[in-house]
Structure 1
Amino acid sequence: MKISILDQSPISSGKTAGQALQASMHLAQMGEKLGYSRYWIAEHHDLPGLACSAPEVMLGYVGANTKKIRIGSGAVLLPHYKPYKIAETFNMLATLFPDRIDIGIGRAPGGSAEVTMALSDNFLEQVRKMPELVKNLLHFLNNDFSADEMFSKISAAPLPAVSPQPWILGTSEKSAILAAEHGTAYAFGHFMSEKERPDILKQYTADFKVNGMLKRPASILAVSAICAETTEKAEELALSGRAWQTQLAKGEGKNGIPSVEEARQYLNSDDHQSIDNSKRHMVVGNPQEVKAELQELQAVYEADELMIVTITHSYEDRIRSYGLIADQVLSSRPE
């Protein structure tokens, strides 16, 4: 089983955004040592508790401090930007870090309505144009506009020896169909989906059209997971993320990811149904339990790869969780 890391760069209570971003860089380094295939970092804007608003900046830092792990955006939110600029940026990264760059593409706003207005003149219109935006981005990455098209005379320089690998990210049929039609790789956000939807990944695979970049469909299932030496410890660590999600839903959470004790106090005074809801799409347990659940998810969704997102208050507990999962899932560790 191939496993990768999706990092939301969480800011723990009592910590700063700078400390969170440093912890993200160390996570990428550790992921490389553990044998993870990819490290992706997400884009969020003015969202309490998350530090990374510019994945492209962070990827330059991560790339310079790692050697071989693939790195990418999970995702760059395309409706906010012009495809040409995104292609230039990721071509630059691919020139600096050859054959290591993924460009995950998403359509979510990544923040509040006010943030969306600050970033985009007409976000909803750009979302409706998502197929056209993706098409143009792929042409810029491939440098293959036809001679009669407006952008045929320009290139998204510098042109790397190996182009960034595009992935479309989503949780719906629309994103799967878009990826299949354009022949790109596809990542399904299981941890963001309200229901189990293995049919979406299967639809993508069935409808996939070869476009010259990929010869066959490639899929990732992004899963929320926390692993500890014991089930009880893992469930305790998971309280922080569950409390934070509940706080965000209520317009709170400005202090970042709460400690386990802070989370316990908060949840004990809150509606316990919120805990049940937050558990629905999390894999939490000891190493053997987590491995079994991950294997079951991969089998059900028929995904090529699992990408794991882990939110804990302690950055050390987060790295420990990824380490325990690697010990169980990967057949051998790199020296």
Structure 2
Amino acid sequence: MKLSILDQAPVSANQTAKQALEQSVLLAQAGEKLGYTRYWIAEHHDMPGLACPAPEVMLPYIGARTSRIRIGSGAVLLPHYKPYKVAEIYNLLATLFPARVDIGIGRAPGGSAEVTNALSEHFLQNVWKMPESLKDLLHFIRNDHPAGSELAKITASPVPETPPEPWLLGTSEKSALLAAEQGIAYAFGLFMSDKDARELLHSYKNSFQPGSFQKPKTILAVSAICAETSEQAEEISLSSLIWSIQRSKGMGLPGVPSITEAKSHRLSATEKDEIDRMRQKMIIGNPVEVKNRLLELHNQTQTDEIMIVTITHSPEDRQNSYKLISEQLLEP
């Protein structure tokens, strides 16, 4: 099984944003040593506790400090940007880091309505135009706009020897079918969706038409926390769960609370129910339990790869979680 890392660049309650971003570099370096296939960093805007609004800035910083692991965006929120500029950025990255760059593409706003308005005009119209924007972006990456097209007169320079690998990220059948139609790889965010992963990935594979890829390629993205014991994993996960609940209510916690702070939080009945629901979507346990659950998902969905997002208060707990999982599932 191939495993990869999705980093949301979480800021802990005792950290600065700079410290959190330096931990992202350390995570990518650790992932490379542990045998993870790729490291993606997410794009979020003005979200308390998340430090990266610009993957295109972090990726060269991380790429220069690693040598083998694939690096990419998880994702470029395309409705905010012109396809040409996105192609230029990722072609430049692919020139600097040959055969290592992925361009994950998404359609979410990545922030509040106010942030969306500050970032771009006519966001909803741009979401509706997403299929056309994606098509233009892929033509720029492949440098193959149809002859006679106005866009065929320009090139997204520099043109790398190996183009960035395009992935569409999504949580619905709509995104799965768009990826299949455009002939690109598809990453399904199970940790953000209640949809049936097996059904969606099956739909993508059955509808796939060769394009940038000659055959379908998939990632299943899951949220997981692994520790030496089940009890430790449950305890560590509480920080992330409390933080997620507070963020969803717009309470804007400054960062992921410590385990002690999380334990001292008085939960309402509604919050307890919400935590139970969130736990159902996460994989939390000791190394054998997490391994078995990941293998079960892999067998159910027949995905090519599983991408893991892990948020903890302690950077050491986060790195240890990835380490324990790799020891169970990756070749040394």
Distance in 2 between residues matched to 1:294 and 1:118, nearest whole Å: 39
Distance in 2 between residues matched to 1:196 and 1:253, nearest whole Å: 31
Gaps of 5+ in 2: none
- Report the equivalent of 1:235: 234
- List aligned pairs for 1:250-289, cutoff 5 A: 250-268=249-267, 271-289=271-289
**SS of aligned partner of 1:280:** helix
How far 1:92 sits from its partner (Å)? 0.3
With normalisation by structure 2, the TM-score equals: 0.98
How far 1:269 sits from its partner (Å)? 5.1
- Report the equivalent of 1:49: 49
Distance in 2 between residues matched to 1:195 and 1:144, nearest whole Å: 35
Amino acid at match of 1:241: S
- Report the equivalent of 1:69: 69
- Report the equivalent of 2:313: 313
CA distances 1:227-264 after superposition (whole Å, capped 9, x unpaired) = 00000000000001100110011111331111111112
Distance 1:267 1:91, change over 3 A: farther
Question: Does the 8 Å CA contact 1:70/1:100 hold for their aligned counterparts?
Answer: yes
How far 1:299 sits from its partner (Å)? 1.2
How far 1:215 sits from its partner (Å)? 1.6
- Report the equivalent of 2:225: 226
**SS of aligned partner of 1:50:** coil
- List aligned pairs for 1:177-256, cutoff 5 A: 177-211=177-211, 213-256=212-255
How far 1:267 sits from its partner (Å)? 4.8
**SS of aligned partner of 1:272:** helix
Amino acid at match of 2:250: G
Amino acid at match of 1:145: H
How far 1:78 sits from its partner (Å)? 0.2
Question: Does the 8 Å CA contact 2:87/2:137 hold for their aligned counterparts?
Answer: yes
Distance in 1 between residues matched to 2:319 and 2:268, nearest whole Å: 30
- Report the equivalent of 2:144: 144
Question: Does the 8 Å CA contact 2:171/2:195 hold for their aligned counterparts?
Answer: no
- Report the equivalent of 1:170: 170
Distance 1:199 1:321, change over 3 A: same
Distance in 1 between residues matched to 2:14 and 2:68, nearest whole Å: 33
CA distances 1:14-45 after superposition (whole Å, capped 9, x unpaired) = 11100000000000000000000000000000
Distance in 2 between residues matched to 1:187 and 1:309, nearest whole Å: 13
**SS of aligned partner of 2:283:** strand
Distance 1:267 1:167, change over 3 A: farther
**SS of aligned partner of 1:306:** strand
CA distances 1:243-300 after superposition (whole Å, capped 9, x unpaired) = 0110011111331111111112225456311211211210000000000000011111
How far 1:72 sits from its partner (Å)? 0.2
Distance in 2 between residues matched to 1:68 and 1:197, nearest whole Å: 29
CA distances 1:44-72 after superposition (whole Å, capped 9, x unpaired) = 00001000000010001000000010000
The 10-residue stretch of structure 1 (250-259 or 83-92) with the greater mean CA deviation from structure 2: 250-259
Question: Does the 8 Å CA contact 2:227/2:321 hold for their aligned counterparts?
Answer: yes
How far 1:146 sits from its partner (Å)? 1.3
Distance in 1 between residues matched to 2:80 and 2:277, nearest whole Å: 31
RMSD of aligned alpha carbons: 0.9
- List aligned pairs for 1:47-126, cutoff 5 A: 47-126=47-126
**SS of aligned partner of 1:32:** helix
Moved over 6 A (4+): none
Amino acid at match of 1:215: Q
Question: Does the 8 Å CA contact 1:244/1:257 hold for their aligned counterparts?
Answer: yes
With normalisation by structure 1, the TM-score equals: 0.97
**What's the % identity of the aligned pairs?**
61
Gaps of 5+ in 1: none
Question: Does the 8 Å CA contact 1:245/1:278 hold for their aligned counterparts?
Answer: no
Distance in 1 between residues matched to 2:267 and 2:129, nearest whole Å: 45
Distance in 2 between residues matched to 1:198 and 1:149, nearest whole Å: 39
Distance in 2 between residues matched to 1:190 and 1:264, nearest whole Å: 27
Amino acid at match of 1:239: L
Question: Does the 8 Å CA contact 2:188/2:197 hold for their aligned counterparts?
Answer: no
Distance 1:135 1:267, change over 3 A: farther
Distance in 2 between residues matched to 1:248 and 1:168, nearest whole Å: 26
Distance in 2 between residues matched to 1:269 and 1:20, nearest whole Å: 30
Q: How many residues get paired?
A: 331
